[in-house]
Amino acid sequence: MPETINQMSEQLTEKWNGFEKSHKIKIIVIALIVIAIMAIFVVLFNRPKMVVLMNNLESKQASGVAGVLDGESIPYQLKNDGSTILVDKKNANKAKLILAREDVPKGRFNFDDALSNTMSTTESEKRMKHLKADENEIANTLELIDSIEHAEVNLVIPNEDNSFLESKQKATAGVILELSNPLTNKQINGVANFVAMSVKNLDKQDINIIDTQGNNLYIGEQAELEGFYSRQQEQKIFAEQDLKNKVADLMSKMYDDVRVSPNLVFNYDQYVETKEKYESPIEDSNKGIVTEDRTSEYSATNNQTGLEPGVVPNAGEIPTYGIGGNETGESKGNSKEAIYAVDKTVSSTTKEVGKIDTNESSIAIHAFRNKTYKQEEIEKRLPEGQTWEEFKELNKEQQQLPIDEMLIDSIQKATGLQNVAIHSFENPVFLDTEVFKMSVQNYIPYILLVLFLLALGFGIYKFTSPKEIVELDPELSVEEMLQSAKELQAPPLDDIAYGEDLEVKRHIDKFVDEEPEAVASLLRNWLADDEWE
């Protein structure tokens, strides 16, 4: 193997030494051009894709971030007067982890900051620092909840060391929440409970919670009064959302866009029904067990003379009545009473509260199906003289589509509602032929590539093109030239051929131009030679 390398090296060296100087220069220039263009290509196609790491930074914060990135040898760029820091996309996650580890930029004011005091720090300043640390600690904890993106807490706590009136004031709290998703009533109450438990002598009635849109989420004393109403609203919201999901899943395969608007009516009336059921403990009998049996007898004797009934005198015919005489009368009798015990069942039923009234509730559905028009396809079928823009203008309106009764029946069965209204529309979508556009920056690599290929082709052409070989007459020696001069003088001029004269003259002129010193020496020799006398 080494011998082969040495042999190749010797062949290359021999080949290189065989080139003329001009060829060597051309080869070097072409090689430098190729290397430069390749370097430009590498830079252009491998330059990092910068993404925003942090923005809206203050100068001090930006300085801290830049210091950490420099220490970790992570390249970055500054924009917007240093308030925005960009890093290579492949280093973004690494940079975020490092900054989080170093707590840069510095986070909220915390208890460590509150405890870092100097001799000049007053008690009032210490108290304010501790209050700020409490606010930020509560805010940081609230941000751990999934739906809360950011939280700000403002506490007003009276100073118990001051006047009697101030020490009797209530502590209050205001909370602002930036939400990614709405909070349920239960979650809002949980936030209020947490804030109340985190601050000494803070009652839930003195807490106000709002979101960044200005909506009141919790208003202290009114929260308890509105709790029942909030629960009803929350139940309605979740039930309608569940209904929307069911209908969307049912229709999503048939339509491109489905919009559902339910209106659910809940019945919150309470109804309690009580029932008593009696059964005989004796099988195959309608009587119960005798628990009490009463028997009584009586007798009576009449031994008085009967009296005339009615009032005397009676007008008209006086009726007669059968009356007892002076005889004695007797009467006897008895009674028997039995009390039976039976099984008694008492049941109390409370009807469901908050049940959906399917007869009063309703749902409206708008379904859209896209119809796509592609310019390259439509232009082939357009009538003569009609343009693509005119076609779009003529077909831009939505068209209503018929509704299948089976679809309505499916939605009624899925939702349990009878009042269902569905409207379907065809939505035109026009796709213009995409025009390929490139910015000047995108053209640069291709321009450089063309220049590179042209330069490479030109270099190869110049290097491989055959050279025109000009054959030069052999130069005459000084003795030959002197001999020719003498021969010119010997014969008369008219005997010398015209062509030979010109050829000799050309050699002499060339010799004079190239060797002026030799010509001068030759002339001196001629003058000193006796033959010229």
Sequential DSSP letters for 427-443: EEEEEPPPPP---HHHH
Asked if residue 405 has pLDDT above 80, the reply is: yes
Separation CA 456–CA 180 (nearest Å): 59
> What DSSP character marks residue 183?
P
Bridge-based pairing state of the strands 419-431 and 362-374: parallel
Asked if residue 143 has pLDDT above 70, the reply is: yes
Bridge-based pairing state of the strands 207-211 and 172-179: parallel
Residue type, 181: N
CA distances in angstroms from 46 to 36, 39, 42, 446, listed in the order given: 15, 10, 6, 15
In the chain, what percentage of residues exceed pLDDT 70? Answer: 67
Within a 10 A sphere around the Cβ of 417, how many other Cβ atoms? 21
Looking at the DSSP assignment, which residues form a beta bridge with residue 54?
A: 85
Asked if residue 378 has pLDDT above 80, the reply is: yes
pLDDT at 532: 47
Q: In 3D, which of 467, 468, 450, 469 has the Cα closest to residue 458?
A: 450
> 174 by DSSP, 3-state: which?
strand
Angle between helices 92-102 and 59-71 (to 10 degrees): 110
pLDDT at 58: 75
Separation CA 29–CA 456 (nearest Å): 11
Asked if residue 363 has pLDDT above 50, the reply is: yes
pLDDT in tens, 332-351: 777 777 676 666 676 666 66
- Strand blocks (E) in 23-182: 50-54, 76-79, 84-88, 148-156, 172-179
pLDDT at 111: 52
> What DSSP character marks residue 46?
S
Separation CA 355–CA 363 (nearest Å): 17
**Burial zone of 56 (CB within 10 Å; 0-12 exposed, 13-18 middle, 19+ buried):** exposed
Please report which residue ranges of 214-290 form alpha helices under DSSP H. Answer: 221-225, 227-251
The residue-averaged pLDDT of 6-24 equals 75
pLDDT at 493: 45
pLDDT in tens, 306-323: 545 555 555 556 555 555
Separation CA 464–CA 425 (nearest Å): 72
Give the range among 31-35, 39-43, 267-271, 461-465 with minimum mean pLDDT.
461-465
Separation CA 483–CA 523 (nearest Å): 14
User: What does the mean pLDDT of the chain come to?
Assistant: 75
- Strand blocks (E) in 245-361: 257-263, 266-267, 272-279, 289-302, 329-341, 343-350, 355-356
Separation CA 239–CA 132 (nearest Å): 42
Which range scores top for mean pLDDT: 79-83, 103-107, 490-494? 79-83
- Are 209 and 175 a contacting pair, CB within 8 Å? yes
**Burial zone of 102 (CB within 10 Å; 0-12 exposed, 13-18 middle, 19+ buried):** middle
Asked if residue 373 has pLDDT above 80, the reply is: yes
The residue-averaged pLDDT of 358-378 equals 90
CA torsion angle 204 207 210 214 (round to 10): 130
> What DSSP character marks residue 532?
G
Within a 10 A sphere around the Cβ of 5, how many other Cβ atoms? 9
Sequential DSSP letters for 137-171: HHHHHHTTSTTEEEEEEEEE---TTS-HHHHTSPP
Asked if residue 138 has pLDDT above 50, the reply is: yes
**Burial zone of 367 (CB within 10 Å; 0-12 exposed, 13-18 middle, 19+ buried):** buried
Q: Pull the structure tokens for residue 110.
A: 């915390």
**Burial zone of 178 (CB within 10 Å; 0-12 exposed, 13-18 middle, 19+ buried):** middle
Separation CA 202–CA 174 (nearest Å): 11
pLDDT in tens, 153-169: 999 888 765 554 445 57
- Are 24 and 66 a contacting pair, CB within 8 Å? no
Q: In 3D, which of 428, 418, 446 has the Cα closest to residue 356?
A: 418
The residue-averaged pLDDT of 382-407 equals 90
- Are 281 and 342 a contacting pair, CB within 8 Å? yes
Asked if residue 182 has pLDDT above 80, the reply is: yes
Q: Pull the structure tokens for residue 427.
A: 């939505």
Separation CA 351–CA 357 (nearest Å): 13
Separation CA 519–CA 412 (nearest Å): 124
> 409 by DSSP, 3-state: which?
helix
Instruction: State how far Cα 237 lies from the chain centre.
Output: 24
Please tell me whether the peptide bond between 516 and the residue prior to it is cis, using omega within 30 degrees of 0.
no
pLDDT at 480: 60
Q: Largest alpha-carbon pair distance within the chain?
A: 232
CA atoms within 13 A on the CB side of 2: 0
